[in-house]
Amino acid sequence: METVTLADAQPIRRQPWYRPFLKSEALTGYFLISPAVFLMLVLLAYPFVLAVWISLTDRVLGEPGKFVWFSNFYKLIQDPIFRNTVWNSFVYTFATVFLKMLLGVILALLLNQEIPYRNLIRGAILLPWIVPTSLSVLTWLWMFDSLFSVVNYILLGIGLISKKIQWLGSPSWAMVSVIIVNTWRGLPFFAVSFLAGLMTIPRELYEAAEVDGAKRFRQFWHITVPLLQPVIAVVVLFSTIWTFADFQIVYILTHGGPLNATQIFATLAYDVALVAGRIGEGSAISLFLFPALLVVIILMLKYLRRE
């Protein structure tokens, strides 16, 4: 009887035509990453370069438009509604990122304790992050409704307020509302990332500190904070970029109103580019912050490398 060994079970082939190319390691490397580079160029670089190009033209929908250098940007700086938008975007982004960071650290510390049903709670915390934003924001829209707001109903009921709050109707409350919703939505991402960071901090450090007589707060300040810093930096960086580019929450809740009090880059760009048809100017609005964000990203990444 013929014995078939594993080595025998290989097909005998001639060398394929591309074999010589694979000899050099560097060439092989480039060859293997080429699909990824191709995808990056097509899906990321092309739309970006196109957006930059469009922002330098006076293009309106369906017409090619002329090259106008930086005239769109110059006009934007003079537009009071746009200046207001810049201010709102900064308030919105910094307030929400700060709140998410603060509450995220607190939540992560709590979740890191020995509590019953810990894993279940950790999972449940993620819910706001998992539910599609547009759906959850619609629920918030109902909760902030001028007539039927359940939030007002409860606050009136327990006597905290005497007159209903115009959550989406008064300029300052509208900003508060969108900040609350964005914080609610983004908090799980912060908490879970921080929690992952906390879990990598070795227990021994805390034990040693305790032996040396350090109280909880000093342990937190001298062990937790420094070791969590890289995670915080990355999460804050991502969140800042996402929040500056946020659209859904504001669009659904206030559509930028009332009196442009919550108008941010993305909502204004949408109205100008797609509804009013001025895509040149719309692109300029959405690209306005790009240089500033680029500086933030470079600084943050440099800091991370040093770490």
Partner 1 sequence: MRYRKTARQDTGRTMSRRKFLGVTAGATAALSFGTFIRSGLGAARINVLTWSNTLNAMDDTLRAQAKQYTQEKGVEVVFEFVNQTDLPTKTAAAVESGSGDIVTTWSDGAHLHDKALINVGDIAEPLGKQLNGWTNIAKDICIVNKVWKAVPWGIIPIAVVYRTDWAKEAGYDKFPDTYDEMLVLCRKMKEKGHNSGFALGRAIGDANQSHYPMLWAHGGAECTADGKKVAINSPGTAKAVDYVRRLFKEGQSEDVFSWDDSSNNRAFLAGELACTGNAASIYWAEQKNAPQLREVTNHALWPKGPAGRFGYSTSMGLGIYRFSKFQKECKEFLTWLMQPKQYSAWIGVGEGQIAGLANFYENDPVWKKDAKLEVIREIPKYVRMPGYPGAPTRHAAESMVKYVIVNMFARACKGMSTPDTIKQAEAELKDIYAKA
Give the binding site for partner 1 (CB under 8 A): 4, 8-13, 58, 60-63, 75, 78-81, 141, 144-148, 166-170, 174, 254-260, 271-279, 281
Sign of CA dihedral 147, 148, 150, 156: positive
Residue number with CB closer to partner 1 (128 or 257): 257
Minimum Å gap between C-beta 264 and partner 1 is: 13
Residue number with CB closer to partner 1 (8 or 212): 8
Question: Cβ distance 242 to 133 under 8 Å?
Answer: no
Give the distance, in angstroms, between the CA of residue 231 and the centroid of all CA atoms in the same chain.
Answer: 15
Residue 16 in 3-state DSSP?
coil
Tokens of 53: 């190009």
Minimum Å gap between C-beta 54 and partner 1 is: 10
Question: Cβ distance 237 to 300 under 8 Å?
Answer: yes
**Which element (helix H / strand E) includes 34?**
helix 25-40
Minimum Å gap between C-beta 7 and partner 1 is: 11
Minimum Å gap between C-beta 52 and partner 1 is: 17
CA gap 8, 250 in Å, rounded: 66
Residue number with CB closer to partner 1 (228 or 279): 279
CA gap 39, 45 in Å, rounded: 9
What is the CB neighbour count within 10 angstroms for residue 94?
A: 13
Minimum Å gap between C-beta 213 and partner 1 is: 55
Minimum Å gap between C-beta 275 and partner 1 is: 5
CA gap 112, 101 in Å, rounded: 16
Minimum Å gap between C-beta 281 and partner 1 is: 8
Residue number with CB closer to partner 1 (152 or 243): 152
Burial class of residue 223 in the structure, from the number of CB atoms within 10 Å of its CB (0-12 exposed, 13-18 middle, 19+ buried): middle
Residue number with CB closer to partner 1 (158 or 275): 275
Bridge partners, 67 (sequence order): 57
Residue number with CB closer to partner 1 (9 or 211): 9
**Which element (helix H / strand E) includes 137?**
helix 133-143
Residue number with CB closer to partner 1 (192 or 284): 284
